[in-house]
Amino acid sequence: MEIAAGLEAHGITDRTAARFRHRDVFGLAEELYARTPRGDAPDDVPVRPPAGTRAVRGFGYALLPGALALGAAAAGMPGAGPLAALLTAAALVWPGRNAGGRLPYAAHLLAAAAVGWAVHRHGPALGAALALAVAPGHLAAALYAARARRRLAGSRALEDFAAGARPLLAGILLLFTAAATGAAAVTAAAPGTAVPLAVLLFLTRLLLRHGAHRTPVAAALALALVPDPAAVLAAAAGLLVHAFLALSRASAHARHRPHRHQGETA
């Protein structure tokens, strides 16, 4: 599966594989795997914590922004809004920085600016709603990654994987949208403002975590800075189109994504 995803990332299609007398990229990947010499595993490989421990710890970290933001708001802290904006933006950096392209922190800085500007305009309730949506966003992203990997393991062609990956993304997005709506209701934030911005940040998280190119992400976040009620909605819609294209590729779900050269797209 990893080899097939790497071949796809470098432009190898099922048609290309047919020139090498294979039905699809997966068949070509099997031959490459069989031909690759493999030695013994090195003794100095670091031992990672069990998956269950990492999942519990990750979810605990995801709960912190919402808990701290709600606590600051309940205590009447003067800087509750900026604190919530800072915690929400920091949560985007924490899952990993795997996106390609120049200026690795540009997307994160633009996300922080978009959240901070929105909270400044609409009040601390919006910041609390976004911070509270971090935890369900973490769960939704983890569920999406696991289901996509399972889908990749059961696919026999790149088109087959893409056909199943798109409705999976749509379902996860609907699940998160419902959670973001609930977060807005809990914090008394305007759902018409909080939900589109939360969806924009969730898509940003998914794309950065799965190695998509930063340029479309940065462009969408920059659009969200425009002081117009429709700007965030347009930014989220545009990034959604990009997400359906980028995340339907098998290479986006490889555990070890191949390095892309400068100028290549995700």
Q: Does residue 262 register a pLDDT over 70?
A: no
What's the pLDDT score for residue 52?
64
What's the pLDDT score for residue 259?
43
Residue 132 counted as domain residue: yes
Q: Does residue 101 register a pLDDT over 70?
A: no
What's the pLDDT score for residue 264?
39
pLDDT-derived band at 7, boundaries 50, 70, 90: confident
The pLDDT tens digits of the residues spanning 33-79 come to: 777 776 655 555 455 566 666 677 777 778 888 888 888 887 778 88
* Domain membership of residue 57 as a residue range: 2-253
What's the pLDDT score for residue 15?
78
CA-nearest of 151, 148, 161 to 211 is 148
Spatial separation of the C-alpha atoms in residues 90 and 124, rounded to whole Å:
17
Cα 255 to the chain's mean position, in Å?
A: 14
Residue 22 counted as domain residue: yes
Residue 261 counted as domain residue: no
Residue 262 counted as domain residue: no
CA-nearest of 213, 198, 215 to 261 is 213
Q: Which residue has the higher pLDDT, 84 or 26?
A: 84
Spatial separation of the C-alpha atoms in residues 16 and 28, rounded to whole Å:
10
Residue 236 counted as domain residue: yes
Residue 173 counted as domain residue: yes
Domain total in the chain: 1
The pLDDT tens digits of the residues spanning 195-245 come to: 999 999 999 999 988 878 888 999 999 999 998 889 999 999 999 999 999
What's the pLDDT score for residue 96?
52
Residue 258 counted as domain residue: no
What's the pLDDT score for residue 97?
44
Residue 18 counted as domain residue: yes
Q: What is the DSSP letter of 252?
A: G
Q: Which residue has the higher pLDDT, 50 or 11?
A: 11
The pLDDT tens digits of the residues spanning 144-194 come to: 988 988 887 777 777 778 888 899 999 999 999 999 999 999 999 999 999
Q: Which residue has the higher pLDDT, 199 or 101?
A: 199
Spatial separation of the C-alpha atoms in residues 95 and 202, rounded to whole Å:
12
Q: Which residue has the higher pLDDT, 88 or 47?
A: 88
> Percentage of residues in the chain with pLDDT exceeding 90?
37
Spatial CB neighbours of 217, under 8 Å, sequence gap ≥ 6 = 99, 107, 204, 207, 208, 239, 242
Spatial CB neighbours of 68, under 8 Å, sequence gap ≥ 6 = 83, 84, 87, 131
